[in-house]
Amino acid sequence: MKLSRYWARTSIRWMDQFVIICSTHYYFACLFFIFIGGYLCIECLSNKSKQGANLVKMLDQILMMNMKIDIETRNTASTGLMKSSTIFASADPPLTLDYYKSTCPTVFEIVRQEMECQVLSNPRNAAFIVRLHFHDCFVQGCDGSVLLDDTISLKGEKKASTNVNSLKGFRIIDRIKNKLESECPGIVSCADILTIAARDAVILVGGPYWDVPVGRKDSKTASYDLARENLPTANEGLLSIISKFLYQGLSVTDMVALAGAHTIGMARCKNFRARIYGDFAATSGKNPLSDLYLSSLKSICPATGSGDNNVTAMDNVTPNLFDNSFYHTLLRGEGLLSSDQEMYSSVFGMETKKLVQIYAEDPVAFFKQFSDSMVKLGNITNLDSFVSGEVRKNCRFPNT
């Protein structure tokens, strides 16, 4: 299973690179290549767009099947029982809504109170926490591994390229943890705190509510390498990003809905420089408003030299509000990150483009899908953490 998953991922990456090279450098050579391919496979060429969509769907299905089988095999091996309706996102010992009902009944209240203070004092704190949760779950599952500090014996994830100088909000989690440790010591895992806090963050900036299943354990380890490998980056191609979501058991729909989190928060110049000096003008078209926006972005983010850490909002219309205006940004061709705009503008984005249009038109559909997908994201678990995990006393260090 692992091998076929590996090949699926590798071939997507190759295709991805091919498209990038075609669109940036060797345009005519690639065209020639495509026409020769088309001559040899007229059938394929005449159904080009359908084939593309089918390819993504097919890979989606293959990968989902592989993962489902993987999980079922794991469950059988660990418990001797085959779960009847195992889907990847269902947790491995299942998470429940009332896990802390008798051991720490005030957990949800305590997290919400602290998040209220933090988001009131700075709405960007909501964005920090939502992203922290995402970066936790994509590396070894949602096990609080992202919260671990580097020590002599442990190389954490904080210094991985996707996280360094970028991930924030750790102190907020520390504060919540301290309160919970005085209220119910040794009971609530850091991974659960982060998951609940992410839900509250979204609500506090105007987004939807969802129930948060709890009962996660904290890992004793972290993975710098997986943080580099699993997390998507701003200049990565669409297919490669899709493959990273599929790998986690999340669908293309989950990906487009979850990327809607970019309706809040900011990005640093180093993550959007290539985009604004690249195809931004082409995707946004010639009009005075987008010209003006592009010039202001260029003044924040010079083409060369300093300014790597200068920031600007990813949704420049309602930056502190969780709404669907991020998708309108993409319809205008003004997505700040290349990875975001690709969901609407990439030649491989037929499926994603439709979803962007749906969420732009229908905020209720977006909220519904975002809530469902956040539950799926939060349910990415790792059997190791359940078996050998713990409830950390301090989210930054494993217990001694």
Does residue 19 bind ligand HEM (CB under 6 A)? no
Q: Confirm or deny that 72 is annotated as ligand binding.
A: no
Q: Are strands 311-313 and 266-268 parallel, antiparallel or unpaired?
A: antiparallel
The CA distances from residue 97 to 88, 104, 213, 222, in Å, are 19, 12, 4, 26
- What values do phi and psi take at 382, rounded to 5? -135, 120
Among 176, 234, 276, 395, binds ligand HEM (CB under 6 A): 234
User: What's the rounded Cα separation, in Å, for the pair 238 and 233?
Assistant: 10
What's the distance, CA 311 to chain centroid? 20
Nearer CB in complex with ligand HEM: 271/381: 271
Closest alpha carbon to 20 in 348, 354, 353? 348
Q: Which stretch binds ligand HEM (CB under 6 A): 32-40, 147-155, 232-240, 355-363?
A: 232-240
Does residue 353 bind ligand HEM (CB under 6 A)? no
Cα-based angle 377, 378, 381 (whole degrees, multiple of 5) = 95
Q: Confirm or deny that 157 is annotated as ligand binding.
A: yes
Q: Which stretch binds ligand HEM (CB under 6 A): 23-31, 83-91, 122-130, 205-213?
A: 122-130
The CA distances from residue 389 to 91, 152, 344, 359, in Å, are 15, 20, 40, 38
Q: Confirm or deny that 141 is annotated as ligand binding.
A: yes
Q: How many chain residues are in contact with ligand HEM, going by CB under 6 A?
A: 24
Does residue 356 bind ligand HEM (CB under 6 A)? no
User: What's the rounded Cα separation, in Å, for the pair 185 and 180?
Assistant: 7
Does residue 131 bind ligand HEM (CB under 6 A)? yes
Nearer CB in complex with ligand HEM: 144/398: 144
Nearer CB in complex with ligand HEM: 258/380: 258
Closest-approach residue to ligand HEM (CB):
265
In one letter, which amino acid is 120? L
Q: Which stretch binds ligand HEM (CB under 6 A): 65-73, 146-154, 233-241, 355-363?
A: 233-241
Does residue 259 bind ligand HEM (CB under 6 A)? yes
Closest alpha carbon to 2 in 87, 63, 89, 78? 63
Does residue 339 bind ligand HEM (CB under 6 A)? yes
Q: Confirm or deny that 185 is annotated as ligand binding.
A: no
x/- track of binding to ligand HEM for residues 262-291 (CB under 6 A): x-xxxxx--x--------------------
Does residue 261 bind ligand HEM (CB under 6 A)? yes
User: What's the rounded Cα separation, in Å, for the pair 397 and 399?
Assistant: 6
User: What's the rounded Cα separation, in Å, for the pair 197 and 219?
Assistant: 18
**CB 166 to ligand HEM: min, Å:** 3
**CB 258 to ligand HEM: min, Å:** 3
Nearer CB in complex with ligand HEM: 218/254: 254
> Which residues, listed in sequence order, are joined to residue 122 by a DSSP beta bridge?
none
Q: For this structure, is 135 an active site residue?
A: yes
Q: Confirm or deny that 262 is annotated as ligand binding.
A: yes
Q: Confirm or deny that 109 is annotated as ligand binding.
A: no
Both tokens of residue 314? 């990813």
Among 59, 75, 111, 124, binds ligand HEM (CB under 6 A): 124
The single-letter DSSP state of residue 187 is T
Q: Confirm or deny that 318 is annotated as ligand binding.
A: yes
Does residue 320 bind ligand HEM (CB under 6 A)? no
The DSSP result for 333-347, as a single string, is: T--SSHHHHHHHH-T
Contact 137, 145 (CB under 8 A): no
The DSSP result for 31-62, as a single string, is: HHHHHHHHHHTHHHHHTHHHHHHHHHHHHHHH
Catalytically active residues, by annotation: 135
- In the annotated binding site for Ca(2+), the residues are 136, 139, 141, 143, 145, 157, 263, 315, 318, 323
Interaction site with ligand HEM (CB under 6 A):
124, 127-128, 130-131, 134, 166, 232-234, 241, 255, 258-259, 261-262, 264-268, 271, 337, 339
- In the annotated binding site, the residues are 136, 139, 141, 143, 145, 157, 232, 262-263, 315, 318, 323
- In the annotated binding site for heme b, the residues are 262
